[in-house]
Amino acid sequence: MKEEAQISEFVWKGITIQLRWEECNAFAGFSALHVQSVSPFGAALPIARTGYRSFVYYQSEKPANLAQQVHSWFDDAAEKPEWKAHETSTR
């Protein structure tokens, strides 16, 4: 049985990010984290140029603070040359 998704949002560098955590009990305890830019919709992110990415977890691996975890991924990925080049080209 699939439980209702837990949805939260945060802002990273002016982009509103939606996090959707779905516990999928039908798949032997796996869960999915969906990360999507919603304002502006589809804005490129340092972890996904399309503005969307999903991750699969064992339910026991759920980070205590999803927003903090994703924010940290963004900050780390934003230091890579590919993202810095993207930022320079979109200014």
Band (75; pLDDT cuts 50, 70, 90): very high
Q: For the segment 79-90, what is each residue's pLDDT rounded down to a tens digit?
A: 999 999 998 998
Residue 34: the pLDDT is 95
Q: For the segment 8-53, what is each residue's pLDDT rounded down to a tens digit?
A: 999 999 999 999 998 876 657 788 899 999 999 999 999 999 999 9
| Contacts of residue 17, Cβ cutoff 8 Å, sequence gap at least 6 | 9, 10, 11, 35, 36, 37, 38, 45, 70
